[in-house]
Amino acid sequence: MSQLLSVVIQAPAHSAIAGLLSYQSELSLAPGTLVRVPLGKRETLGVVWDPGSSDPDPGSGVEIRAISGVLQGIDPLNAQWRRLISFAAGYYQRSLGEVALAALPPQLRDLSPVQVLRRLKRGSTGAAGDATSPTAAQPLTQEQGEVLRRFGSEAGPFLLFGATGSGKTEVYLQAVQDLLARNPSAQALVMVPEINLTPQLEARFRERFVGQYGEDSVVSMHSGMTPAQRLKSWLAAHQGVARMVLGTRMAVFASLPTLRLIVVDEEHDPSYKSQEGARYSARDLAVYRSQLENAASGSTSDCRVLLGSATPSMESWYHSRPTADGGRYQRLVMPSRVGATATGAGALPAVRLVDMSQQPKRTVLSPPLLEAIGQRIARGEQSMIFLNRRGYAPVLQCGSCDWKSECPHCSAYRVFHKIDRTLRCHHCGFTERVPRACPSCGDLDIAPVGRGTERLEEHLGELLSGIRRAGGEPVRIARIDADSTRLKGALREQLAHVHSGAVDVLVGTQMIAKGHDFRNITLVAALNPDGALFSSDFRAAERLFSLLMQAGGRAGRDAAQGLSSEMWIQTMHPRHPLFAALKRHDFASFAAQQLAEREQAAMPPFSFQALVRAEARSQEIAQGFLQAASAAASAVADFARVTLYPPVPMSIQRVADVERAQMLVESPSRAALQRFLAGWHGVLQDTRRQPEAKGLIRWAVDVDPLAI
Ligand code: ADP
Ligand code: ZN
Ligand code: ZN
């Protein structure tokens, strides 16, 4: 007798099907089984889904086709994984098929079942390596010990609030080690925000664990891997061979049948929020995933989740307020840097503010900062200067008429890159040679306005040309940003260069501010952070504070050298409260002030938001679509508990000749917002089918958006 199955497949983004189709099979297949099914004239990968209310209506007279085959040798994806996918699809307003298939490695989709089977056999058996014991961990600091004691004995979720250099990574390693020692089959998931940080992390985990648990016990998952590598890691995790998965946000969807620990390092980092497709937050899903595991095992602490940061997100900080005030997370603290001494060696850097309103106009590096850098060079110490803008200059301008280097396809200027004499749009990629003369009036007097890292590097070369290193050689300056690291392996090479001491002054974007364990940098400078102080985005201050703390965290990390370190900030607003808190390294008071403001203005985490974005041929169509969907929302469930704001153009209104608009939806209740969005989805789809929406290219919902 043939069985009727619901199968999840990848549905084209805007097709009517949500990705759940009916098939039949002679075999009795458990939910979670991977199958190949016919779809139109082609064949595609599917996942057998739980039978239930969401079953598609087979429709009368529609022939139900048989599945084409089963992917042999791969166990069904377990119930917790399927629940995670269902939850993510519902919460972030995407189709089940899109989320489920995006969570699987692409080769599962592209290879034939026979090819997959071959890969499975080729994968190793997971035999332990030589029986050497793990690399001896260093004795824990008192703070690390206390944190691990509480982590092991309480239920989470946990927020580890630890200063930069307080030894958070060692806590993660030790937590994993304790888990594996206790539970011979347990798996751990450790996430970091950036691909660039994974090799460093992987090296530390391999060093600690492969001796005892085998070569394949540690695997990575990130988008920089080849499809073959991704399949291999995925299979190792799914089969339970891999005991630790290290990865970026995508790893939150890895199949881990015996998951018992999740770590989210730098949990505040915006890159945990996906910016395309299903705009999920891997941090939030990690917390949800641990709850799913606990619910499945009926315990509150079977699968613990640990979020770590020196500058937690306002959301996590608020959740970790005292339980008596309604906090749901346990806050664990490590305020001290490892090995810091009373004399200040190895301590957090002293913050120096330079009042740029007292400096001559157009000063790039103030004399006191320049002098401090010169002293470091003479002593053989390194300095790091960061400026969040790459290229030579953000705009090229004509001195005679008002021509500026606008992008013809975007509402933005093209950036001048001197190295290859191009004007490049950082939004659509449109690139042209720099014109010899003004394209508008023919004048030869066209000049760069403003400054990016490329120009800063050049300028520093001039400013420091009179200075010599201790040995009499000229100063060595290097730059690290998205342009300098375009080639594969370039970043690793450039970082190694810095680590080896072959660089005196490192210039770069926020790329160098995060995570790297530099040992000889004793001065960090931020040249122009003021833009974020008065931004219309309510999260700008939070991002700036954490970026500056992170950047400062790169300085003075080696206490053994006995050097004290400094963080310099050039600003027009030295008395801004953000800088006052930074000077004291006082995240708690900064957060208290931010949260007070947000509570007063009823902003997250005191309210819940979603953005609907629309892209169209014209701004009128984009806004018209949002307006119409808004006008038709009154019959939707929980309409009374949400606020729909008027549609507005996005801050960069046109990109690649597409006009973009957005509309904010807000509610004091997360549940009400969720119910409203679920009901409104059909209204948006109907609105899109109206003749007025002709010219609309796409629309999408972003739940819990990070940038507004
Ligand atoms: P964080 O992630 O909190 O910024 P790290 O984990 O990178 O800090 O630790 C900072 C430095 O301190 C690293 O070089 C690390 O090897 C070292 N370290 C961490 N824990 C200890 C310890 N218990 N004893 C000695 N050194 C430690
Ligand atoms: Zn001109
Ligand atoms: Zn452009």
Per-residue pLDDT at 85: 96
| 196 touches ligand 1 (CB under 6 Å) | no
Per-residue pLDDT at 582: 92
Helices (H), 216-308: 227-238, 282-297
Go through the domains of the chain in sequence order and give each one's CATH number: 3-110 (3.40.1440.60), 142-334 (3.40.50.300), 350-390+452-599 (3.40.50.300), 407-449 (no CATH), 608-703 (3.30.70.260)
| 550 touches ligand 1 (CB under 6 Å) | no
Q: Is a pLDDT exceeding 80 seen at residue 341?
A: no
Which ligand is located closest to the Cα atom of residue 435?
A: 2
| 517 touches ligand 1 (CB under 6 Å) | yes
| 170 touches ligand 1 (CB under 6 Å) | yes
| 338 touches ligand 1 (CB under 6 Å) | yes
- Integer distance in angstroms from the first to the last C-alpha of the chain? 55
Which ligand is located closest to the Cα atom of residue 338?
A: 1
Output the 3-class SS for 190-217.
EECCCHHHHHHHHHHHHHHHHHHHCHHH
Q: Is a pLDDT exceeding 80 seen at residue 11?
A: no
Per-residue pLDDT at 126: 46
Ligand 2 center to 445 CA (angstroms): 8
Per-residue pLDDT at 579: 94
Could you tell me the pTM of the whole model? Answer: 0.92
| 144 touches ligand 1 (CB under 6 Å) | yes
Per-residue pLDDT at 534: 83
Cis status, amide bond into 605, omega within 30 of 0? yes
| 333 touches ligand 1 (CB under 6 Å) | no
- pLDDT tens per residue, range 140-153: 999 999 999 999 99
CB under 8 A, 24+ apart: contacts of 143-150: 143/167, 143/333, 143/334, 143/335, 143/336, 144/170, 144/171, 144/174, 144/334, 147/171, 147/332, 147/333, 147/334, 148/174, 148/175, 148/178, 150/330, 150/332
* Range from 66-80, 108-122, 301-315 carrying the lowest mean pLDDT: 108-122
- pLDDT tens per residue, range 501-556: 889 999 998 888 876 777 788 899 999 888 888 888 899 999 999 989 888 888 77
Strand-pairing partners, residue 7, are 21, 48
- Among candidates 571, 582, 514, 564, which has minimal Cα distance to 376? 564
Ligand 3 center to 404 CA (angstroms): 14
| For ligand 1, mutation pick of 516, 517, 520 (most atoms within 8 Å of CB) | 517
Q: What is the distance between the alpha carbons of residues 45 and 130, in angstroms, rounded to a whole number?
A: 39
- pLDDT tens per residue, range 585-594: 999 999 999 9
Q: Is a pLDDT exceeding 80 seen at residue 343?
A: no
Residues 115 and 293: beta-carbon distance below 8 Å = no
Helices (H), 553-662: 577-583, 587-600, 619-631
Ligand 1 atom with least separation from CA of 139:
23
Ligand 1 atom with least separation from CA of 141:
23
Ligand 2 center to 440 CA (angstroms): 5
Cβ within 8 Å of residue 656, ≥6 positions away: 409, 410, 427, 428
Which ligand is located closest to the Cα atom of residue 652?
A: 3
Output the 3-class SS for 510-543.
HHHCCCCCCCCEEEEEECCCHHHHHCCCCCHHHH
Is the model more confident about 127 or about 229? Answer: 229
The DSSP element (H or E) to which 446 belongs, if any, is strand 446-449
Q: Which two tokens stand for residue 246?
A: 């290290």
Cβ within 8 Å of residue 647, ≥6 positions away: 614, 622, 623, 626, 627, 630, 661, 662, 663
Only one residue has tokens 């190792």, namely 236
- pLDDT tens per residue, range 35-62: 999 988 888 999 999 886 455 555 555 6
| For ligand 1, mutation pick of 168, 170, 336, 557 (most atoms within 8 Å of CB) | 170
State what percent of residues in the chain have pLDDT above 70: 93
Ligand 1 center to 413 CA (angstroms): 43
* Range from 343-357, 440-454, 597-611, 665-679 carrying the lowest mean pLDDT: 343-357
Sign of the dihedral through C-alpha 76, 81, 83, 88: negative
Is the model more confident about 201 or about 124? Answer: 201
Which ligand is located closest to the Cα atom of residue 439?
A: 2
Ligand 1 center to 339 CA (angstroms): 9
Q: What is the distance between the alpha carbons of residues 185 and 183, in angstroms, rounded to a whole number?
A: 6
Q: Please name the residue whose Cα sits nearest to atom 18 of ligand 1.
A: 167
Per-residue pLDDT at 12: 61
Ligand 1 atom with least separation from CA of 166:
3
Q: Which two tokens stand for residue 184?
A: 């011979």
Which ligand is located closest to the Cα atom of residue 438?
A: 2
Quick check: helix, strand or coil at residue 665?
Answer: strand
Ligand 2 center to 398 CA (angstroms): 5
| 529 touches ligand 1 (CB under 6 Å) | no
Q: Is a pLDDT exceeding 90 seen at residue 650?
A: yes
Ligand 1 atom with least separation from CA of 144:
23
Helices (H), 263-332: 282-297, 314-319
- pLDDT tens per residue, range 402-418: 899 999 999 999 999 99
* Range from 198-207, 449-458, 570-579 carrying the lowest mean pLDDT: 198-207
| 112 touches ligand 1 (CB under 6 Å) | no
Phi-psi region of 585 (alpha: psi -120 to 50; beta: other; left: phi over 0): left
Segment 265-288 mean pLDDT: 95
Q: Is a pLDDT exceeding 70 seen at residue 451?
A: yes
| 43 touches ligand 1 (CB under 6 Å) | no
Which ligand is located closest to the Cα atom of residue 442?
A: 2
The conformation of residue 629, written as its DSSP 8-state character, comes to H
Q: What is the distance between the alpha carbons of residues 513 and 503, in angstroms, rounded to a whole number?
A: 16
Is the model more confident about 534 or about 33? Answer: 33
- Among candidates 237, 236, 298, 280, which has minimal Cα distance to 85? 280
Ligand 1 atom with least separation from CA of 163:
3
Q: Please name the residue whose Cα sits nearest to atom 14 of ligand 1.
A: 517
| 432 touches ligand 1 (CB under 6 Å) | no
Only one residue has tokens 């219309």, namely 536
User: What confidence tier does 257 reach under pLDDT thresholds 50, 70, 90?
Assistant: very high
Quick check: helix, strand or coil at residue 147?
Answer: helix
Widest CA span of the chain, in angstroms?
88
Ligand 1 center to 77 CA (angstroms): 37
* Range from 75-89, 174-188, 468-482 carrying the lowest mean pLDDT: 468-482
Per-residue pLDDT at 127: 47
Cis status, amide bond into 574, omega within 30 of 0? no
Q: Please name the residue whose Cα sits nearest to atom 4 of ligand 1.
A: 165
Residues 92 and 32: beta-carbon distance below 8 Å = no
Q: What is the distance between the alpha carbons of residues 552 and 545, in angstroms, rounded to a whole number?
A: 10
Per-residue pLDDT at 641: 96
Segment 224-242 mean pLDDT: 93
Q: What is the distance between the alpha carbons of residues 516 and 479, in angstroms, rounded to a whole number?
A: 15
Ligand 1 center to 517 CA (angstroms): 9
- Among candidates 258, 106, 133, 124, which has minimal Cα distance to 188? 258
Ligand 2 center to 389 CA (angstroms): 25
Q: Is a pLDDT exceeding 80 seen at residue 15?
A: no
Residues 612 and 661: beta-carbon distance below 8 Å = no
| 157 touches ligand 1 (CB under 6 Å) | no
Per-residue pLDDT at 53: 46
Only one residue has tokens 């290097």, namely 478
DSSP secondary structure string, 476-496?
Answer: -EEEESTTTT-STTHHHHHHH
Q: Is a pLDDT exceeding 90 seen at residue 157?
A: yes
C-alpha distances in Å from residue 445, one per residue of 420, 442, 485: 20, 9, 32
Q: Which two tokens stand for residue 509?
A: 């974007």
- Among candidates 71, 391, 41, 111, which has minimal Cα distance to 255? 71
User: What confidence tier does 562 reach under pLDDT thresholds 50, 70, 90?
Assistant: low
| 165 touches ligand 1 (CB under 6 Å) | yes
Segment 203-208 mean pLDDT: 91
Segment 264-280 mean pLDDT: 93
Segment 112-126 mean pLDDT: 72
User: What confidence tier does 484 reach under pLDDT thresholds 50, 70, 90?
Assistant: confident
Using the CB atoms, write b or e for 46-62: b if 16+ within 10 Å.
bbbbbeeeeeeeeeeee
C-alpha distances in Å from residue 611, one per residue of 608, 616, 662, 665, 686: 11, 16, 6, 6, 18
Segment 205-218 mean pLDDT: 91
- Among candidates 488, 146, 465, which has minimal Cα distance to 334? 146
- pLDDT tens per residue, range 376-401: 998 889 999 989 899 999 999 999 99
Per-residue pLDDT at 131: 46
Ligand 3 center to 396 CA (angstroms): 15
Per-residue pLDDT at 408: 95
Q: Is a pLDDT exceeding 70 seen at residue 631?
A: yes
Q: Which two tokens stand for residue 661?
A: 């608009």
| 138 touches ligand 1 (CB under 6 Å) | yes
Ligand 1 center to 168 CA (angstroms): 7
